[in-house]
Amino acid sequence: MRNKVQPVPPPTQPRVISISGSPWKKRLKWAILAIILVVVGIGVWVGFSANRALQKITDDSGNKSSLFSLLGDVTSTNIKGQSQGRTNILILGKGNQNHPGGALTDTMIVLSINYNDKKISMISIPRDLWVPIQGYGHAKINEAYSDGEKSTKTKNSSGGGGQLSSRTVENVLGVPIHYYITLDFDGFKKIVDTVGGVDVYVEKDLYDPYYPAPNMIDYEPLRISVGPHHLDGTTALKYARSRETTSDFDRSRRQMQVMMGIREKFFTLQILASPKKITDLINILGDHIRTNMQVSEIRALWDISKNLDTTNIINKVFDTTAGGPLVAGQDSRGYYIYPRKGIDNFSELQNIAKNIFSLQADNIAEAKIEVSNGSGKTGLASSVANYLESYGYSVTKVTTATSKVQKTIVYDYSGGKYKEVADKIASLLKASVQQGTNVRQDVNIQVLMGQDYLSNQ
């Protein structure tokens, strides 16, 4: 009997589900469209804010650039000084219209960009420096901006506060000032608050019982203890401006310290990922900053800044320390500062300014310095590193010693090449100098902080 053949079922076909016209596909399309619209909307929002702010920032009303200049192709040849290898920018900090003496510049810093080695330097000029101001005779250098603003109102030819300040600083330092930037106190506070505050290490107790209250009649005492602090905009401004119980030179160093703190927050907050922060900062800049840069120049400098060495900025504060280029005087003119070689003899200042990036600048910028903390006090090495950098020294390493040490010692591992640098650092820190037993390749000078440093201050 023959077996009955069972029919073979057809092969199983994969199940195909059509989404054509399905609600799921429609929702996906709308979601993608919404994302695109949001991205475009953010771009337009930020772009509009940037365009409006940039039109307000530039002082030259007759040569305003549109947002298209910011978005278009820009080359570094737009930047003044680039072909000569160095661009110098004068940064001016001042009060506002409601502040007595609001047109006097509390802060005067020349920021320089060296295109050859991608370095940045900052030179702080004391506000009490006695100088000639074109068209106004002799006065303290912080009056140049105020005189320039007066000349603008009276239709004089001085060209405004920024331009007159620039020409005055050019005469003092012997280098061209290609651009200026002015920022008022309110803008400074808002910038600090927008980036989330700044972190600083206070070297020594700061107490100023005479810090003026907002009404400029009463006092609002300032007290900040030694150690790490997180400062909001109001406190950061007080910290940077106070000078009643400290020197103007200490204040200049604190100003640089706060500026470096703001720079750190810009790079760590990932601001580019927050359109609101970008817009807030842009609007603050538009309301509180003025410059003679054009939009294309701002864009070109921004592009160049991405390749600059921002980790080893050369800082120099002109002060009246022994052997320095400046001395202090007091007479019918009040308290003022002038060159030790005589009134109007700025040759030493000019030598430093012109050679700030070169070996002739006392080898300060070239010597690689390590600060090692052997005191046992957390944060001391970073504090001392900032202190040395405010004098223009280049600290390339901050470390912690393997064990505590009693005495602070400056070790010279340069084979005597940087002996003067080691001696000056030792003088600043009240330490002794010892010659290293060998020549190190990673650093030239090591500063080993001991427990005695805490009691020497």
Task: Give 138-166 as a DSSP string.
Answer: EEEGGGHHHHHHHHHHTT-SS--HHHHHH
Residue 86 tokens, joined = 């160095």
Backbone φ/ψ region at 106: left (φ over 0), alpha (ψ -120 to 50), beta? alpha
Residue count (the chain): 457
pLDDT given for residue 71 in this prediction: 44
Q: Report the Cα 441 to chain-centroid distance in Å.
A: 30
Distances in Å between the Cα of 239 and the Cα atoms of 201, 358, 404 are 11, 32, 32
pLDDT given for residue 44 in this prediction: 41
CATH 3.30.70.2390 domain span(s) along the chain: 368-456
Question: Maximum distance among all alpha carbons in the chain?
Answer: 138
pLDDT given for residue 440 in this prediction: 85
Q: Which amino acid is at 155?
A: K
CB atoms within 10 A of CB 390: 24
CA distance 108 to 185: 14
CB 171 within 8 A of CB 177: no
pLDDT given for residue 45 in this prediction: 43
CA distance 449 to 399: 10
Q: Which amino acid is at 441?
A: Q
Written as tens digits, the pLDDT of the chain (457 aa) is 444 445 555 555 544 444 445 555 555 555 555 554 444 444 444 444 455 555 566 665 444 444 444 444 445 457 899 888 899 999 998 876 665 555 788 889 999 999 988 888 889 898 899 999 999 999 999 999 999 988 766 555 445 899 999 999 999 999 999 999 888 888 888 888 988 888 888 888 888 887 777 666 677 888 889 888 999 988 988 888 787 666 666 777 787 788 878 777 776 655 556 666 777 777 787 788 888 888 778 878 878 887 887 767 787 888 887 667 899 999 988 899 999 889 999 988 988 898 888 644 555 667 889 999 999 888 899 888 888 876 667 788 999 999 999 999 999 998 888 888 898 889 888 899 999 888 888 899 999 999 988 776 5
pLDDT given for residue 210 in this prediction: 75
Residue 209 tokens, joined = 């019982």
pLDDT given for residue 406 in this prediction: 92
Residues 6+ apart with CB under 8 A from 452: 406, 407, 408
CATH 3.30.420.590 domain span(s) along the chain: 76-196+269-354
The topology under which CATH files domain 76-196+269-354 is Nucleotidyltransferase; domain 5 (3.30.420)
Q: What is the DSSP letter of 62?
A: G
Residue 254 tokens, joined = 């604190």
| Class in CATH terms, 368-456 | alpha beta
51-82: b (≥16 Cβ within 10 Å) or e: bebbeebbbeeeeebeeebbeeebeeebbbbb
Residues 6+ apart with CB under 8 A from 106: 93, 94, 95, 127, 142, 241
pLDDT given for residue 29 in this prediction: 53
Reduce the DSSP state of residue 297 to 3 states and report it: helix
CB atoms within 10 A of CB 250: 18
CB atoms within 10 A of CB 279: 17
pLDDT given for residue 46 in this prediction: 43
CA distance 177 to 436: 42
Residue 29's Cβ-side half-sphere holds a number of Cα atoms within 13 Å equal to: 8
CA dihedral (289, 293, 294, 298) in degrees, to 10, reads -80
Task: Give 234-260 as a DSSP string.
Answer: HHHHHHHH--SSS-HHHHHHHHHHHHH
Residue 358 buriedness (CB in 10 A; 0-12 / 13-18 / 19+):
exposed
